[in-house]
Amino acid sequence: MSHPERTPAGASESTADSPRLSQPDRPWIMRTYAGHSTARASNELFRRNLAKGQTGLSIAFDLPTQTGYDSDEELARGEVGKVGVPISHRGDMAALLDGIPLGEMNTSMTINATAAWLLALYVVVAEERGVEPARLQGTTQNDIIKEFLARGTYAFPPGPSMRLIADTIAYTVHSVPRWNPINICSYHLQEAGATPVQEIAYSVSNAIAVLDAARERVGQELMGEVFGRISFFVNAGVRFIEEHAKLRAMAILWAQIGRERYGVQDPRHLRFRYGVQVNSLGLTESQPENNVQRIVLEALAVTLGRDARARAIQLPTWNEALGLPRPWDQQWSLRIQQVLAYETDILEYPDIFDGSTVMNGLVDELLTGAREEMAAVAEHGGTLEAVPYMKAAMVDSQRERLRRIEDGEQVVVGQNRFTESERSPLTADAEGGILVVDPAVEAEQIDALRRWRSQRDQAAVDRALAELARVAREEDPQANLMAPTIAAARAGATTGEWAATLREVFGSYRAPTGVGDAAAPAHDEELERLRAQVAHLQEQLGRRPKILVGKPGLDGHSNGAEQIAVRARDAGMDVVYEGIRLTPAQIAASALQEGVHVIGLSILSGSHLELIPAVIAALRDAGVDAPVVVGGIVPEQDIEPLRRAGVAAVYTNKDFEINRIMGEILDLVAERAAQPAAAQPAPA
């Protein structure tokens, strides 16, 4: 099972007459997930965090970087530097890592579709500083299947995406042996609604698909080394006893698969190695101070039991349900880890759950459920073929979770119970207790990008990208894309150019939404009232009311949009939901063509003040007269500007009652229909 770096073998074991270890374990790697605005601003933040006692880096990239677009492309509008740092070329990567000892640093990069590219930039910058690839240690998340299921930052179709992952694994096993080439990410599966059983089953099934693809490139003789470099990035919710059992179950299942499917025998290779960020889904906008104790309790799930302790931890901040955290907020989360590691006694004991009948029973229960669900995935043709099945299952699980919260069956303190509250001084400043990125950052980044392009050797870039395209067209499993990717990074190519070259070869892709396949709920009184409201409105309109649910920009967090779409469908409305990553023009064209009566827009990336007015302008230009409602992470101070831009209603994380939201949306449609001057939309 997983454990942190320890003292020499046997030195930490307990003695016969003491329940304690002979000396405490070393703490896990402590990180904060950080990056924003520009490479230089993020570098300053990294250095400050390291000075505060952080022991590893965890890089957050902005959405254009994650999805393979340069900062000056249309889809990048409003998203540059918002949820992470923009990295367009090796110059940006060099600035990001300035002064950081890459030969000693353990760096985690939360990057998936463009993981091969960002790893190449990291390798090239390290080489320029005299650090050989063999000395580098860290992780690229590089898990594309969970992007199709939960996070949405994919760039290429499933097959080519798996090829990129396998090529990265083959390259690192030979050239960067201390690097974890993939972090199988169950974290976002839980954020998208997965139960503990689903989180185990889908992430382990995902790992099997990755290992099967890698075996074609490295051969059986290296599968032990490959298996030993696969790590996981997991989620831990506030039900921390069950969450700890989940991790023990994953460790047992992982070792079994290694032995039985891949012939791995070395216990070091069979170890379940994972890092963690504890649950962000359960953080609330209401009474956000409660999030501190939630984070502390969730950290216990991944530290309390020695035999399933995380190797690396990054904790969210108390204000992530409000917006971007400030350096001070991240410091608070780092201090939580440090108090846990250095003030408590959790590192002084052997595994405290050893022999626990409760824990053993929970583990067995989760293993049984996970194996059954893995069998269902296999029956659907394996992980890649089963993406629609898994997506629909998670949408259903998320709906059930939200129903329990709406009905009060699942208590969320400060949200659906104990809601009386004093005003929090933590949010009393002008920015509402969050970091607000200067809108000028995007223009500055675009100017810097264009200067980079004008000063490089364009002929060398063209040759490198042509070679990348040539290798991408090869069907031989030994035609590894990492070599031409690294060559393109050295030549000065950009993130958008690298991705565009591969899109031209591989094509584009839109992942399933899970909305159409989600099961209809059983009888529900609130839902019946909504259906009656829809029926009355249908008589008024002459046809069923129709809603368009849109995700403008690059934000791939689609949970809220999916749940609104599913609830609207269950209430009897016609629903238009085409998934994520839409331009304002595309949303307007769809609204016109479909003749919708109301438009719901969802953004969680902080780009709402730029993108929502752009969508409203596009709707007006197209002649669409329908109310627009907005949902997502919208700070209080941004609500009035959105209303002035023409938004009819704004819903934030504190608005958890979806039936109420749907009722208010239907009221908006009825009000608009009753206005004689309003031109009612009809299908084009």
Give the whole-angstrom CA distance, residue 278 versus residue 315.
6
- Of the candidates 411, 427, 443, which is a domain's last residue? 427
Closest by CA position to 402, among listed 122, 53, 137, 660: 660
- Low-confidence winner among 148-162, 277-291, 503-517, 667-681 (lowest mean pLDDT): 667-681
8: pLDDT confidence band, cut at 50, 70 and 90? very low
Q: Residue 399: in which H helix or E strand, if any?
A: helix 387-407
Same domain (yes/no): 541, 421: no
Decide if 633 contacts 284 (C-beta within 8 A): no
- Residue ranges making up the domain that contains 245: 27-427
- 509 carries an active-site annotation: no
- Of the candidates 406, 427, 448, which is a domain's last residue? 427
- Low-confidence winner among 16-20, 343-347, 623-627 (lowest mean pLDDT): 16-20
Q: How many structural domains comprise the chain?
A: 2
The single residue of 89, 188, 244, 597 carrying the catalytic annotation is 188
Q: How far is CA 104 from CA 53, 117, 570, in A?
A: 15, 22, 54
Give the whole-angstrom CA distance, residue 112 versus residue 114.
5
Q: Has residue 253 got a pLDDT over 60?
A: yes
What number is the average pLDDT over the span 163-169? Answer: 96
Decide if 13 contacts 324 (C-beta within 8 A): no
Q: What would the pLDDT profile of 315-330 be if each residue is shown by its tens digit?
A: 999 999 998 899 999 9
Does residue 508 fall inside a structural domain?
Answer: no
In Å, how far from its chain's centre is CA 571? 30
Order of strands, edge to edge, in the sheet holding 230-234? 29-31, 312-314, 274-277, 230-234, 182-185
- 351 carries an active-site annotation: no
Does residue 639 fall inside a structural domain?
Answer: yes
Does residue 549 fall inside a structural domain?
Answer: yes
CATH number at residue 558: 3.40.50.280
Does residue 512 fall inside a structural domain?
Answer: no
**R_g of the chain computed on alpha carbons:** 25
Q: Which residue type is seen at 518? A: A
Give the whole-angstrom CA distance, residue 470 versus residue 483.
12
Does residue 162 fall inside a structural domain?
Answer: yes
Give the whole-angstrom CA distance, residue 665 versus residue 546.
11
Closest by CA position to 660, among listed 567, 580, 552, 537: 567
pLDDT at 7: 34
Decide if 517 contacts 388 (C-beta within 8 A): yes
679: pLDDT confidence band, cut at 50, 70 and 90? very low
Same domain (yes/no): 402, 543: no
CATH number at residue 255: 3.20.20.240
15: pLDDT confidence band, cut at 50, 70 and 90? low
Q: What would the pLDDT profile of 567-610 be if each residue is shown by its tens digit?
A: 999 999 999 998 888 999 999 999 999 999 999 999 998 899 99
Beta-carbon neighbour count of residue 438 at 10 Å?
Answer: 12
Q: Has residue 268 got a pLDDT over 50?
A: yes
Does residue 330 fall inside a structural domain?
Answer: yes
Strand partners, 651: 631
Closest by CA position to 628, among listed 599, 586, 659, 665: 599
Same domain (yes/no): 373, 265: yes
Q: Which residue type is seen at 526? A: E
Residue with tokens 């989760």: 366
Which two three-digit tokens encode residue 185? Answer: 């990410």
155: pLDDT confidence band, cut at 50, 70 and 90? very high
- Of the candidates 427, 450, 465, which is a domain's last residue? 427
Q: Has residue 61 got a pLDDT over 70?
A: yes
- 555 carries an active-site annotation: yes
The single residue of 69, 154, 187, 274 carrying the catalytic annotation is 187
Does residue 289 fall inside a structural domain?
Answer: yes
Q: Which residue type is seen at 172? A: T
Same domain (yes/no): 417, 531: no
3-state secondary structure of 283: coil
The single residue of 72, 329, 351, 555 carrying the catalytic annotation is 555
Same domain (yes/no): 388, 259: yes
Which two three-digit tokens encode residue 186? Answer: 């169950």
Give the whole-angstrom CA distance, residue 574 versus residue 302.
44
Residues 6+ apart with CB under 8 A from 577: 513, 515, 548, 549, 561, 562, 565
519: pLDDT confidence band, cut at 50, 70 and 90? low
Which two three-digit tokens encode residue 74? Answer: 């249309």
Which two three-digit tokens encode residue 313? Answer: 């931890």
Decide if 350 contacts 14 (C-beta within 8 A): yes
456: pLDDT confidence band, cut at 50, 70 and 90? very high
The single residue of 3, 25, 33, 246 carrying the catalytic annotation is 33
Same domain (yes/no): 236, 371: yes
DSSP labels, 626-680: --EEEEES--HHHHHHHHHTT-SEEE-TT---HHHHHHHHHHHHHHHHT-TTS--
Which two three-digit tokens encode residue 267? Answer: 């216990």
- Beta strands 628-632 and 29-31: pairing type? unpaired
Closest by CA position to 583, among listed 607, 618, 557: 618
Residues for the chain: how many in total?
Answer: 684
pLDDT at 6: 34
- 557 carries an active-site annotation: yes
What number is the average pLDDT over the span 474-502? Answer: 96
Same domain (yes/no): 186, 306: yes
pLDDT at 516: 67
- Residue predicted with more confidence, 546 or 438: 546
Q: What would the pLDDT profile of 91-113 be if each residue is shown by its tens digit?
A: 999 999 999 999 999 999 999 99
What number is the average pLDDT over the span 515-534? Answer: 78
What number is the average pLDDT over the span 163-178? Answer: 96
Same domain (yes/no): 108, 236: yes
The single residue of 3, 244, 551, 608 carrying the catalytic annotation is 551
Does residue 176 fall inside a structural domain?
Answer: yes
What is the share, in percent, of the chain residues with pLDDT greater than 90? 85
Q: Which residue type is seen at 440? A: A
Strand partners, 314: 31, 277
The crossing angle, in degrees rounded to 10, of helices 158-175 and 482-491 is 80
Beta-carbon neighbour count of residue 459 at 10 Å?
Answer: 9
- 202 carries an active-site annotation: no
Closest by CA position to 80, among listed 108, 97, 61, 58: 61
Q: What would the pLDDT profile of 334-366 be if each residue is shown by its tens digit?
A: 999 999 999 999 999 999 999 999 999 999 999
- Residue predicted with more confidence, 15 or 227: 227
Question: Does the CA dihedral 182-188-193-196 come out positive or negative?
Answer: positive
Give the whole-angstrom CA distance, residue 488 versus residue 473.
16
Residues 6+ apart with CB under 8 A from 404: 410
Give the whole-angstrom CA distance, residue 527 versus residue 544.
16
Please provide the average confidence, as pLDDT, over all residues in the chain. Answer: 92
The single residue of 82, 246, 546, 557 carrying the catalytic annotation is 557
233: pLDDT confidence band, cut at 50, 70 and 90? very high
Q: Has residue 490 got a pLDDT over 70?
A: yes
Q: Alpha helices of 52-155 — where are they, by DSSP H? A: 63-67, 90-96, 115-128, 145-146
Q: For the whole model, what pTM was predicted?
A: 0.91
Q: What would the pLDDT profile of 278-327 be if each residue is shown by its tens digit?
A: 998 899 999 999 999 999 999 999 999 999 999 999 999 999 999 889 99
Same domain (yes/no): 413, 555: no
Which two three-digit tokens encode residue 237? Answer: 């919710």
